[in-house]
Amino acid sequence: MTIKALLFDLGGTLVHRNVDDYIADETAVKDIADYMNSKGFSIDQECFLEKYWNHYRRLNEYRENFMIEIPMTVWLSELLHDVCGEHLDFKLLSKAEKAIVDARVESAILLPKTIEILEKLSSQYDLGIITNTSSGQVADRVLARLKLNRFFDYVIASSEVGVRKPYPGIFFHIVKEMFIRPEEALFIGDSIKHDIVGSNLVNMKSCLFGQKGLELSNILYMPDLSIMNLSDLLTVESLLND
């Protein structure tokens, strides 16, 4: 069947970071602690940082196990309430959320020639994104900052639909919006669990990106393609037919 749409994961596929994920968040968390201290709280940065990561790990385990998304406002307010109690207010929550979102957005970078490749692909296919994120702001602002938003009319963030990849519903959601069948789309991502398994479950074609040397022989859900460079997508039809 002819491929009509290319659907991408965002982080680790289209967009990368100039620092480790942990460093971006830690800088933001320390800024939050400093802000709280300026407002009369007594917050030890290292203790607050440890509490943040313990909270985030528990949250992530829950999200991964049940494939549901918990918005950043919800999990962050729970963390801050544990620290501040009844003194938590909307201004503090908004300041904290902005600090984390800003850090994640500002650390995002593109691989060379990504814009040039997307220019060519967008003339041949409809392009979309499905991203696991607890904040739709991060996805929207990253795309705008890196000037990618003009290529993507369809962007689905897990924070907006309440479920995460590999849950099939998030893949069905985007093809419904695009008025195409799952078999008419190729999903490109760097995660076997989230991207390849999820897209295969709904009968999409799948493409594993950037995983050099990964042993695929024992994987239950095999990708239809495996590429190291986005430019390989310029000949995707011939690759799928090989």
Q: Would you write out the chain's pLDDT as a tens digit for each of its 242 residues?
A: 689 999 999 999 999 988 777 788 999 999 999 999 998 999 999 999 999 999 999 999 999 999 999 999 999 999 999 998 888 899 999 999 999 999 999 999 998 899 999 999 999 999 999 999 999 999 999 999 999 999 999 999 999 999 999 999 999 999 999 999 999 999 999 999 999 999 999 999 999 998 765 656 566 778 999 999 999 999 988 777 76
Q: Look at residue 219 in the predicted model and tell me its pLDDT.
A: 67
CA–CA dist 12, 192 (Å, integer): 12
Q: Which fold has domain 5-17+109-241?
A: Rossmann fold (3.40.50)
Give the contacts of 223 (CB within 8 A, at least 6 positions apart): 192, 196, 206, 207, 208, 216
pLDDT for residue 214: 63
Please name which of 206, 166, 194, 146 lies closest in space to residue 6, comparing C-alpha atoms: 206
Structure tokens at 205: 């074609």
pLDDT at position 239: 72
CB 83 within 8 A of CB 48: yes
- Between CA 185 and CA 126 the distance in angstroms is 9
Instruction: Report the alpha-carbon distance of residue 120 to residue 218 in Å, rounded.
Output: 35
Task: List the chain domain ranges.
Answer: 5-17+109-241, 21-106
What is the reported pTM? 0.93
Reduced to 3 states (helix: H, G, I; strand: E, B; else coil), residue 141 is helix
Cβ-defined contacts of 220-223 (< 8 Å, 24+): 221/192, 221/196, 221/197, 222/196, 223/192, 223/196
Give the SS3 label for residue 108. strand
Q: DSSP letter string over 63-92?
A: HHHHTB---HHHHHHHHHHHHHGGG--HHH
CB-based contacts of 123, cutoff 8 Å, min separation 6: none
- Pairwise CA distance, residues 6 & 153, whole Å: 12
